[in-house]
Amino acid sequence: MYYGLYDSIQSASIQSSIVELALQYDMAQKDLEIAKTELAKSRQRQWFLLIIGGIVLLGGVLLWFFNKRIIQQRAKTAAVLEVKEEENKRISNLLWKELGQAVRDKKLVLPGVELPEQTIQGAIEAAKFLTNQYFNPYIQVSLVHAIKYLISTLEGHSGLTIHFDSNVEKLNKSYRQAVYRVVENLLVDTVSSQKEGNIYLTVMSSGGKMEIAVRGMSQHKQTMMFQSAEARVEQLKGKIAVHSSRDGGDEVLASIPMG
């Protein structure tokens, strides 16, 4: 009887232990699942942070690269502009020296100007526009524009009214300088010898050549200007063929072949 009771108690104890172990195993399984879930979430967060960090790093690298390119481009632009500025200064200095020498050689005297110093200063001021605009290799203006400015400057030093007509557009540098120098020489001589009146200047391109004509002066003044044009041609080393002829009342003083 006692043995049977003991066996029953022992059997019940074993069953209780089994149940307890089963419960512990079940709880352990649940804890394991929870741990796996948390681990997966931690790994996801780790990858997410890694991706975000990579994107931020890549963005920083790209921003640095583009900023570097911009700095390099601006440095190149500044260097080019600096070189151009130095070249402009060099050319300007040479032109000022040439202008000053030309004024001293010719000793130009305009009506209303008493002192040579005033003449030189006035000539330099009058030539400032042409130095900075007409002869500047980076800023090209038309021959007509340059002649009109010269006319307005000379009219301001005299009582002359100079009428100007031309069909000439932009020319290359060689022709532009040649034509301008002849016109300048003729007009300066006119202003120097004639104090008032109307002068008609025509610069036309026709038949493959440039013709420079002046009307409104006496025959004596026309002859003087023709001789002056011939002298200017010699200075230009024969690039301009000068001849004198009558055509509709105009005195043709210079003809420049365009071929």
Identify whether 192 is part of a domain: yes
Domain end point (choices 67, 94, 121) = 94
Considering the domain architecture, whether residues 76 and 159 belong to the same structural domain is answered as no
The answer to whether residue 121 sits within a structural domain is: no
Number of domains in the chain: 2
* Cα pseudo-dihedral 98, 100, 104, 106, rounded to 10: 60
Distance CA 65, CA 60 (A): 9
Domain end (from 75, 94, 113): 94
DSSP per-residue string spanning 13-24: HHHHHHHHHHHH
Assigned token pair, 198: 């109307």
Clarify whether residues 153 and 251 are in a common domain: yes
Same domain, 166 and 252: yes
Answer yes or no: are the C-beta atoms of 186 and 253 closer than 8 Å: yes
Q: Considering just the CA atoms, what is the radius of gyration of the chain in Å?
A: 48
The domain containing residue 23 runs over which residues? Answer: 1-94
Residue type, 191: V
Quote the pLDDT of residue 257.
60
pLDDT value of residue 138? 37
- What CATH number does residue 245 fall under? 3.30.565.10
Does residue 211 carry a pLDDT above 60? yes
pLDDT in tens, 144-203: 877 887 888 778 777 788 888 888 766 676 677 777 777 877 777 777 766 677 888 888
